[in-house]
Amino acid sequence: MRNKGNSVVYSCLIKMAALDAGVSIKNIHRGLADRIATFPNKRQVIIHMFDNLSSQEYFIQDRARNEASFTTDIRNYRPRKEPINKASPISHTLSTSLNVEYLKSKLISYPLHLLDHEKLYLDNFIFYSSLLRSANSGAIPILVYIPHNLSDLQQATNFILEFCKEIAIYLN
């Protein structure tokens, strides 16, 4: 998606279902490093999208906790209340620099809510890891939950496009 030649949105699909969290993170950030090297003067935004299995609404999560707790992955790794970053306490949180209140106010035609807590599953592991790595890269991560059983795929497509557009407007 281009906005007058100033902003470019790339997507990178990482297929996983609690497969290998460490490999997933490395793949995401390998792709990001390529984008930063190719476009060193462009701001990079990582939009993590996960299924919202519990409702037909969209959610934005703006922060993540330094806690790994999720189901067993393909390498038989099953963390329970372990710190993701061993140098910080498990209660440590990191937040996106995007103004999620602003984004929500611009997307009023969608059933969108802001999470007031951190979900502590694989999505938190990936989001926290991205927030941690973004401190050095300058990238801006954010996490969005998309309704799992969408009856209207076009609505989800429009939501993502408008979400990207509003992020570009906010950053410019």
For residue 25, what is the domain's CATH number? Answer: 3.40.630.20
Buried/exposed code over 50-84 (b: 16+ C-beta within 10 A; e: otherwise): bebeeeeebbbbbbbbbbbbbeebeeeeebeeebb
pLDDT above 90 (res 99): yes
Higher-confidence residue of 120 and 6: namely 120
Mean predicted lDDT score pLDDT of the chain: 81
Domain that holds residue 116: 2-171
Higher-confidence residue of 139 and 79: namely 139
Band of pLDDT at residue 36, cut at 50, 70 and 90: confident
Band of pLDDT at residue 136, cut at 50, 70 and 90: confident
Highest mean pLDDT among 44-53, 86-95, 109-118, 126-135: 86-95
CA distance 172 to 155: 26
pLDDT above 80 (res 8): no
CA distance 72 to 129: 18
pTM over 0.85: no
Instruction: Label the pairing between strands 2-3 and 7-8.
Output: antiparallel
Q: Write down the pLDDT at residue 6.
A: 46
Q: Are 14 and 111 in contact (CB under 8 A)?
A: no
Q: Write down the pLDDT at residue 42.
A: 79
Cα dist from 6 to 39, 45, 99, 135, whole Å:
11, 14, 20, 23
For range 95-112, the mean pLDDT = 96
Higher-confidence residue of 38 and 107: namely 107
Cα dist from 54 to 87, 130, 146, 149, 154, whole Å:
33, 24, 10, 10, 20
Q: Are 118 and 61 in contact (CB under 8 A)?
A: yes
Q: Write down the pLDDT at residue 96.
A: 95
Q: How many domains are contained in the chain?
A: 1
Percentage of the chain beyond pLDDT 70 is 83
How large is the angle between the packed helices 122-137 and 21-38, nearest 10 degrees?
Answer: 30
- The CB density around residue 102, as the number of other CB atoms within 10 Å, is 13
